[in-house]
């Protein structure tokens, strides 16, 4: 399938779809690492369910990216045959899963961005993306509620849980900035009504996150002297991504002619 | 084995047996012999533990699933197994035990789970073979248990069987596709079948003559068929399926008997079975360690959830 797009838009849109897809693919992978190892059975099931939602979203986005690129690459080609340099996920999702508090703090930060983002994308002028957004926004709403509840329970639970999740909030904070970074790709798509206004999403993110942390008796760390992570969209990844992809891509890399 | 418990009078036992013989379903509030309750708790909790431990060998391939579609199928399958564990723990709770107690027994090494999950999942085709053979064997057993005399167990089985059937089809389809693929893929399937075939046959439990619980379970219609009958049914179903995709079952003695219409098969290595059941299988230690670690590392999370719920129910009461 090919779309009627001018070249600049086509290139930018391909890039943008990869960013959206890669965040979700890598986060889904991290969540799937909990499967069979959760703190309670109900939560084991919930985390697998989230993983499934994110991998499903990534699959739809990568398929669309392949169609936009129009070079015959499938969603699996894009997931399994791209090197780490060509991945565009943010470092927030690359972080190893840590303890349950770390996973939930990361999830809450991501969900508080994901939900308003999908909501805004439901009105994207690029209809296939708006269609994915309409489906994903329902999942994102549920994810945010769930991770938000765990932030409350852990923040306002026992001293141990409070201290643990506060440590995770502190260490993850510097990875949240790049969720809202814009560049020429984004600006061009925004001008076309395809992408959304990231500064608007950032404002919503803060409106969700800051009062919620207070309710959970947690405090955001001071940004004074903190160097926010930046530039991952352009290939400045952490060491963790290479390991993750080595594992994820092992079979299609080892047996390039095989179909699975 | 003593079937008659001191507190169960002969009249009660007779009336109970009459209900069973009349094909009635026993519900949680009904009177039941102490031994019936005990056997059911044993079976249902073993079954629940098997679902939970069974998540591990499959989970081993989640992060390496070779396509997004397969990754989604595998995640959904393992998630289903967790759900089955939940229903089954609930079914066991109707008999007056609680989940925490049962899980503690598992972690203490006092409760059993299916021996099959103590084998390693070594190549990607293992995922297909687990669906086809392991879920396939479980379905044969569970279809029989769907007619068990204890209501909550029977209802859980009906629901679980539907999902297991789906898993089996997905596993078989994965293998069929690999068998149509490259030589490497075909070799992976054959290797996986070679390793899982015999342990799958052992899933039905010891031969009838060595099965200590079978007699009373059949009398009370907890079980409706013997281990050997179920094993034979599974083999009869599976041989043609293996032939259809061109994979060889690793038993030179497999032969169709025109008279009985059964596939005769070779001797099962019961020494291996008992060794695995008694904790000496390839992965017994790892499986229990993984379960214990998840439980221990989750302790602070469970404590936090409890503390939070307590605090906030207090606030509501005060307000």
| B208-221: pLDDT as tens digits | 888 888 888 999 99
**Tens digit of each residue's pLDDT (9 = 90 or more) over A144-155:** 999 999 999 999
- Domain ranges across chain A: 7-221+229-254
SS3 B263: strand
Q: What angle do CA B173, B174, B179 make, to 5 degrees?
A: 95
The whole-angstrom distance between A132's CA and the closest CA on chain B is 17
Q: What is the dihedral of CA B233, B236, B237, B243, to 10 degrees?
A: 160
Per-residue buried b or exposed e for A182-220, using 16+ beta carbons within 10 Å of the residue's own CB: eeebbebbbebebbbebeebbebbeebbeebbeebebee
Q: Which residues contact B197 (CB under 8 A, 6 or more apart)?
A: B133, B249, B250, B251
CB contact under 8 A, B300 and A161: yes
> A7: number of CA atoms within 13 Å, CB side?
0
Q: Which residues of B touch A255 (CB under 8 A)?
A: 182, 184-185
Interface test mutation site (partner A, options B57, B59, B71, B86, max chain A beta carbons within 10 A): B71
Task: Point out the residue among B63, B71, B311 whose CB comes nearest to the CB of A33.
Answer: B63
Say how far apart CA B29 and CA B51 lie, in whole Å.
Answer: 27
Per-residue pLDDT at B144 exceeds 60: yes
Token representation of residue A112: 């508080």
Interface test mutation site (partner A, options B57, B63, B64, B68, max chain A beta carbons within 10 A): B68
Task: Point out the residue among B182, B290, B293 whose CB comes nearest to the CB of A255.
Answer: B182
Q: Is the ipTM of this complex over 0.90?
A: yes
Q: What percent of chain A has pLDDT over 70?
A: 100
The whole-angstrom distance between A255's CA and the closest CA on chain B is 8
**Tens digit of each residue's pLDDT (9 = 90 or more) over B210-256:** 888 888 899 999 999 999 999 999 999 999 999 999 999 999 999 99
Torsion sign across C-alpha atoms B216, B221, B223, B227: positive
Say how far apart CA B299 and CA A81 lie, in whole Å.
Answer: 40
Inter-residue contact B37 to B95 (CB < 8 Å) = yes
Lowest-confidence segment of B32-46, B109-123, B192-206, B305-319 by average pLDDT: B305-319
Task: Point out the residue among A41, A48, A255 whose CB comes nearest to the CB of B78.
Answer: A48
Per-residue pLDDT at B319 exceeds 70: no
Q: Model pTM?
A: 0.95
Residue B10 CA, chain-centre distance (Å), reads: 34
The whole-angstrom distance between A96's CA and the closest CA on chain B is 13
**Tens digit of each residue's pLDDT (9 = 90 or more) over B258-276:** 999 999 999 999 999 999 9
CB contact under 8 A, B182 and A257: yes
Structure confidence at residue B1 as a pLDDT band (50, 70, 90): very low
Say how far apart CA B162 and CA B144 lie, in whole Å.
Answer: 13
CB contact under 8 A, A36 and B59: yes
**A7-221+229-254 topology per CATH:** Ferritin (1.20.1260)
Per-residue pLDDT at B107 exceeds 90: yes
CB contact under 8 A, B86 and A42: yes
Say how far apart CA B141 and CA B162 lie, in whole Å.
Answer: 13
Say how far apart CA B85 and CA B45 lie, in whole Å.
Answer: 9
The whole-angstrom distance between B100's CA and the closest CA on chain A is 11
SS3 B256: strand
């Amino acid at each position: 399938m090919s779309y009627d797009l001018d070249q600049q838009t086509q290139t930018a849109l391909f890039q943008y779809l990869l960013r959206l897809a890669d965040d979700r693919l890598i986060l889904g992978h991290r969540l799937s690492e909990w499967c069979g190892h959760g703190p309670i059975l109900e939560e084991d099931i919930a985390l697998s369910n989230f993983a499934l939602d994110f991998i499903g979203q990534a699959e739809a986005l990568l398929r669309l990216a392949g169609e936009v690129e129009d070079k015959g690459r499938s969603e699996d080609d894009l997931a399994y045959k791209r090197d780490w340099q060509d991945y565009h996920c943010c470092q927030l999702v690359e972080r190893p899963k840590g303890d349950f508090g770390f996973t939930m703090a990361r999830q809450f930060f991501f969900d508080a961005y994901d939900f308003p983002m999908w909501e805004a994308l439901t009105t994207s002028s690029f209809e296939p993306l708006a269609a994915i957004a309409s489906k994903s926004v329902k999942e994102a709403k549920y994810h945010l509620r769930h991770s938000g509840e765990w932030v409350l329970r852990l923040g306002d639970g026992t001293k141990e849980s409070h201290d643990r999740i506060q440590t995770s909030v502190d260490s993850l904070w510097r990875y949240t900035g790049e969720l809202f970074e814009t560049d020429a790709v984004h600006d061009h798509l925004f001008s076309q009504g395809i992408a959304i206004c990231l500064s608007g999403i950032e404002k919503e993110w803060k409106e969700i996150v800051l009062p919620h942390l207070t309710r959970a008796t947690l405090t955001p760390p001071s940004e004074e002297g903190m160097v926010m992570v930046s530039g991952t969209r352009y290939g400045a990844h952490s060491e963790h991504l290479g390991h993750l992809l080595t594992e994820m891509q092992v079979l299609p890399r080892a047996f390039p002619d095989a179909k699975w | 084995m003593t079937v008659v418990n001191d507190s169960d009078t002969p009249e009660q036992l007779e009336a109970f047996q009459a209900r069973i013989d009349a094909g009635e379903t026993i519900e949680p509030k009904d009177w039941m012999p102490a031994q019936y309750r005990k056997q059911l708790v044993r079976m249902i909790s073993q079954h629940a533990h098997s679902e939970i431990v069974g998540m591990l060998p499959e989970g081993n391939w989640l992060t390496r699933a070779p396509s997004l579609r397969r990754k989604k199928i595998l995640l959904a399958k393992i998630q289903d197994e967790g759900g089955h564990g939940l229903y089954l723990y609930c079914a066991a709770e109707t008999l007056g035990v609680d989940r925490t107690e049962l899980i503690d027994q598992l972690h203490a090494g006092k409760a059993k789970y299916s021996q099959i999950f103590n084998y390693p999942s070594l190549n990607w085709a293992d995922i297909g073979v687990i669906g086809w053979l392991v879920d396939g064997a479980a379905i044969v057993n569970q279809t029989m248990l769907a007619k068990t005399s204890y209501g909550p167990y029977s209802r859980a089985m009906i629901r679980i069987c539907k999902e297991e059937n789906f898993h089996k089809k997905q596993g078989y389809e994965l293998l069929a596709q690999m068998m149509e693929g490259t030589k490497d893929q075909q070799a992976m399937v054959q290797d996986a079948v070679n390793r899982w075939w015999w342990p799958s046959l052992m899933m039905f439990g010891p031969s009838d003559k060595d099965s200590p619980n079978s007699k009373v379970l059949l009398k009370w219609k907890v079980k409706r068929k013997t281990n050997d009958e179920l094993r034979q049914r599974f083999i009869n179903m599976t041989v043609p399926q293996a032939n259809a995709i061109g994979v060889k079952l690793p038993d030179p003695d497999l032969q169709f008997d025109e008279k009985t219409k059964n596939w005769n098969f070779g001797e099962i290595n019961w020494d291996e079975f008992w060794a695995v059941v008694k904790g000496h299988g390839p992965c017994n230690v790892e499986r229990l360690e993984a379960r214990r670690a998840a439980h221990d590392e989750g302790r602070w999370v469970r404590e936090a959830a409890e503390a939070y719920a307590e605090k906030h129910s207090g606030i509501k009461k005060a307000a």
